[in-house]
Chains A and B, each alone.
Chain A
Amino acid sequence: MKNSPSFFKPDGLLVYAVLYLTFIYLPVLFLPLFSFNDSTYITFPLKDFTLKWYDKMINSPDMHEALFNSIKVGLTVAILSTILGLLAAKAVTRYRLRGRGPLVSFIMIPLVIPEIILAISLLILISQAEIPLSLWTVGFSHLLLCIPFSMLILISRMEGFDRSLEEAAMDLGENAWMTFWRVTFPIVLPGIVASLLLTFTISFDEFVLAFFLSSTDPTLPIYIWSSLRFPTKIPAILALGASIFIISFFVVSFSEWVRRRGVKLEPTSRI
């Protein structure tokens, strides 16, 4: 901490960070609270404590299926769009490309185009090609949506990247792949992580494209959106939201704990 360039009063920034986390977490924390509340309606005052919504959640296979569909699509899309975004960002920042401007704008179109239009035209295209609707078609549409996000993040990371580092590596006899691996990759890693996190989140929450391009396996947002008609279904969905939240929180803490232990036991294993 001593050598770190801290420009604001250290405490001020820490206090802000805590306040900000409270802002992000506070509304979300009401989900677990109401998931234990013995009432169909999500209003104050709270009634008795109950576990019946969790019981309902565990006993609704449709919900599980929708959840796993969303996770599958989300993971696939996050990885693919980050790979494609990385390649594209590298091409754009590393090489002088003719027509760079228009190309980048073209790739950014999914950000501007209303999702309903993307959804309907893709559906027309896909049904013309006689490709049956499935999670693949949902995934493809999410990929289109996510690539601009990946690319923008990675471009902002790679812009101004010192090319001489790569050239030095090449001069030292590394091939292109090894150069990428040893020099470029570690530098863009924070961008890759950010891209994976964001694109997973986007796909996991996306509704319009998923509705139009899915067939008989719904994703979680479709399931939730269509369940809004039934207030009796909502507490179980809250229970699911709370579980996702608590489990991810636990997983993060656990992996951090494992990492710390790992560091202690095998300090040399780091590269």
Chain B
Amino acid sequence: MKSESLRGYSLLSPTLLAMVLGLAMPLVVLITLSFWIQDYLDFIRTFSLKNYTDFFQKPIYIKILFKSIRMSGLVTIATVLLAYPMAYFIAFRVKHNKLVWLILITVPFWTSYLLRVFAWKIMLGYNGVINSGLLSLGILSEPLEFLLYNPTSVVITLAHAWAAFAILPIYVSLEKIDRSLLEASRDLGENVFMTFMRVTLPLSLPGVIAASLLVFIPTVGDYVTPALVGGPRGIMIGNIIQSMFGKALNWPLGAAISVMSMITVTLMVCLFIWGTHNFRKRVA
């Protein structure tokens, strides 16, 4: 037992070392900063809860944090739901050149993110593909303005940008499923849908969870997409944090907002894992 733990740790140690080296300090900095106060260019280095009281008292931060979580939640649901059938297709239907399919899915994402945001502007913009198309078909007489520069366009752009992050983990876990289980289930007279619900879906759940986390967590803190396609009302918590460290020059408040946003995201993630865990137990 002890030697097993030891072996485990020795395998884990290089990763852990890199992480401790790179993370311990940022965490300490983050937490310490959040209890200091910005005074013009200096910090007042005495313990204070001012930033946290600011966070709870001024409506802006909580409002935007929840808006970001709602938007990321939408992005995650859309991305994972859309990606699942695709991953399923590659795992079960593609026979010989799976890797080609995987790379086919990743290739669009090697064309820099900023360029893809531009591409979405071309699609959704005032003179964009959708508007021009609808205008020339005579469906519209005036271009639609609501396609771009609002929270919806942020969700669409993000759902596109993170597609590969959802497909790959789901594919990986589907690929792991023992095919004989599926055949057994069918031999037992289960129909297609029931087999999927009782065998495939529960067994692929680790992948779905991984995909959801990989999409949800980073998108909550994204600030580039909202800044570029979000318009005046599309900003997210990442933009606020970014501005605290840049333009607004209030690192401690930025740190406190980050801590609160990290805590909230972690709670959401725990809730999600607990939920899927229960689901898995119920199905099993």
Which residues of A approach B to under 8 Å, CB–CB?
Answer: 1, 4-8, 10, 13-14, 16-17, 20-21, 23-28, 30-31, 34, 42-44, 84-85, 87-88, 90-92, 94-98, 103, 106-107, 109-118, 120-122, 124-125, 140-141, 143-144, 147, 149, 151-153, 155-157, 159-160, 190-191, 193-194, 197-198, 201, 204-205, 207, 220-221, 224-225, 228, 234, 237-238, 241-242, 244-245, 248-249, 252, 256
Contact = CB atoms under 8 A, between A and B. Distances in A.
Contacts of A7: 92, 182, 192-193, 195-196, 200
Contact of B95 (A1, A21, A147, A149): A1
A124 B19 CA distance: 16
Contacts of B196: 7
14 contacts: A10-B93, A13-B85, A17-B90, A84-B18, A95-B7, A97-B12, A113-B27, A113-B258, A116-B242, A117-B254, A153-B210, A197-B102, A205-B112, A244-B112
A253 to B, nearest CB: 8
A156 B93 CA distance: 21
Interface stretch (B38-46, B50-58, B164-172): B164-172
B125 interface: yes
Nearest to B180: A5
B77 interface: no
Contacts of B47: none
Given A20-B82, A91-B8, A245-B108, A6 B93 contact: yes
Contacts of A125: 22, 25-26
B160 A21 contact: no
B1 interface: yes
A23 B160 contact: yes
Contact of B97 (A84, A147, A256): A256
B162 to A, nearest CB: 10
B92 A4 contact: yes
Interface residues of B, number: 101
Interface string B59-85: 000000000000000000000001001
Given A43-B127, A113-B26, A156-B206, A197 B12 contact: no
A217 to B, nearest CB: 17
A117 B8 contact: no
B14 A84 contact: yes
A156 B210 contact: yes
Contacts of A241: 111-112, 115
B134 interface: no
B11 interface: yes
Contacts of A111: 213-214, 217-218
Contact of A204 (B8, B110, B120, B214): B110
A84 B120 CA distance: 35
A244 B89 contact: no
Interface string B152-178: 000000001001110011011101100
A245 to B, nearest CB: 5
Given A30-B122, A256-B100, A152 B169 contact: yes
B12 A88 contact: yes
Nearest to A162: B178
B147 interface: no
A252 B100 contact: yes
Interface in B91-149: 92-93, 95, 97-100, 102-116, 118-123, 125, 127-129, 132
Contacts of B248: none
| A-B residue pairs, 7 tightest by C-beta | A95-B8, A121-B26, A91-B11, A27-B119, A91-B12, A194-B168, A156-B206
Given A14-B93, A17-B86, A237-B115, A91 B176 contact: no
B11 A87 contact: yes
Contacts of A14: 89, 93
Contact of A95 (B5, B14, B251): B5
Given A17-B89, A97-B12, A31 B111 contact: yes
Contacts of A16: 85-86, 89
A25 B192 contact: no
A96 B179 contact: no
A92 B12 contact: yes
